[in-house]
Structure 1
């Protein structure tokens, strides 16, 4: 049996993904077998090799090219912008995993801005039952009033149950049996819901009441309001808490410990050293830009909350 783990990346994110992959391989149980897939549309031959080189005897690396036709219905439209800032197709790749890989009834997906600090096989052992997927509550937004208001008033969901999609244990069989991707495409093309986090909002809405909430140690996110977890199993440098751009980021030591073991260490250190205060200020400003979307979407008569209230959408 192989444990399938998926990443979704664009070519310019390879160096961060390599640091994550290195940490995953380092903590993998030598008695288990893993296949790690990188889903991409534009990965260069050099970067494919860089990632493949990080594999081991029991951690096998595969690069899977996402066919343009598969994701063609997902358009570069403002409602599909990540964090209300820019469009990237890669955030949607995770939704297609069950259909693209019918040989797996269960799979793990993790974002590339992560560090694996424990055997990922333990996460795979999660019993999902009838749940669509397992995930962790999004702790990065629990102290952001506008984001809480967005989840309550625009999505009509409980903020304490709103999950982060950067780590998912997917019930692939249930996704296929219930034609999840067809339903997602239908919602996307019919309503064009204006979202702050498009893939994440759809997963929360479509998975509502069928999400298995996992221990927060499997998606530990840096924030400035809580103490760090003592032994995080998976660290997710979500939003703008990137240790390659900011110093003194919570959990940064784990990133740099793994980065030192990759060919990209010098490049990553140079990125941190050369990132200007002006650029950092622009990054901080992106959070305000993201949150400003709440002001607009809460008044939208066709937001999630209003459409659900009218009973015109079946989730």
Structure 2
């Protein structure tokens, strides 16, 4: 007797500007995913053209479905199910999307959230199989913090967590059932309206502050990022256009911050992105994006990175931080 395959829900959130890169993420992920599971992919968007939806839908395989959900409509559906109404400006709340996944999708007890600036050479079902117990999240430590002293100080003094345990929120294995029980959405909305923290990575800082102590730390192979300095060039596992999976290939590569191979040459792990890009349906568009990226754009990236570092350095002087409200007992962890 054939048994119905277990379904794995996977969530992305994008707009038209990121559709080409989601195409690469989807094509790589579904190509390498185990055939023993069924994959329900949810693409939640604010604005996404019909053409881009159709191209992304073409990434579907026999083991997957791709659903498109307009974010505003879905958020409106859950207003009466959150203890605090969604009073904050909608366009502000979109950057916090992943915090609402547990309430938006009550039919699931567990799921994966992924940023779209990734490729997945590994089998995503292996990530889903990670046991969380009563922990709220599975996530990998963010290496950028240890590479930049100003960010390390920000995490310790403002977010109020050990920099060695500060995780990246671009790859999350979510215990949706426990997150609903802990009322993540309600707690977040209350703190957002009450404190207006000056954050560097808004959703990531809230998740780290609220979920501290209830996180299962994933191996960095599930959230491998180029070094911020981009000086450590790894040996490639791609030979003659094929990936050798026996040479320690990362299971998921995350082109975090400004390390985007579609803007820059020489980015660590760029060969994996370009290996999967031809199957995305967006190759010509991606190549045009790279060709049109100017020195002015690159200078802007450098200025924004410097601004992030400067804000991290100055934020410790703020009178209201996550660390202060938790230390003084005004708030409690989930």
TM-score (norm 2): 0.87
Q: Which residue matches 2:179?
A: 175
- 1:152-191 maps to which residues of 2 (within 5 A)? 152-191=156-195
- Counting only pairs closer than 5 Å after superposition, residues 129-278 of structure 1 correspond to structure 2 as 129-223=133-227, 224=230, 226=232, 228=234, 230-278=248-296
Deviations along 1:253-301, whole A, 9 cap, x unmatched?
Answer: 1111111122211121122222122221221121011112124321111
Number of equivalenced pairs: 305
- Give 1 or 2 for the bigger CA radius of gyration: 2
Q: Deviations over 1:16-73 (max 9, x none)?
A: 1111001011101122211111011212221111111110111111111112645953
Asked if 1 retains the 8 angstrom alpha-carbon contact of 2:132 and 2:216, the reply is: yes
Give the equivalent residue in structure 2 for 1:83: none
CA distance in 1, matches of 2:59, 2:307: 37
The Cα RMSD (Å) is 1.8
Q: Alpha-carbon deviations, 1:103-138, whole Å to 9, x = none?
A: 111000000000011111111001100100100000
Q: Match for residue 6 of structure 1? A: 11
Kindly state the Cα deviation for residue 227 of structure 1 after the two structures are TM-superposed. Answer: 5.5
Gapped regions of structure 1 (runs ≥ 5): 77-86
1:19 maps to which of 24, 35, 43:
24
Question: What does residue range 38-49 of structure 1 map to in structure 2 within 5 Å?
Answer: 38-49=43-54
Q: Deviations over 1:145-190 (max 9, x none)?
A: 1101101111221111000000000000001112111111111111
Q: Secondary structure at the match of 2:170?
A: strand
- Which residue of structure 1 lines up, in the alignment, with residue 242 of structure 2? none
Q: TM-score, normalised by structure 1?
A: 0.92
Q: Does the alignment pair 1:128 with 2:142?
A: no
Structure 2 CA distance for aligned equivalents of residues 203 and 294 of structure 1: 17
Q: Which segments of 5 or more consecutive residues in structure 2 lack a partner in the other structure? A: 1-5, 80-84, 236-247
Distance 1:110 1:193 in 2: 25
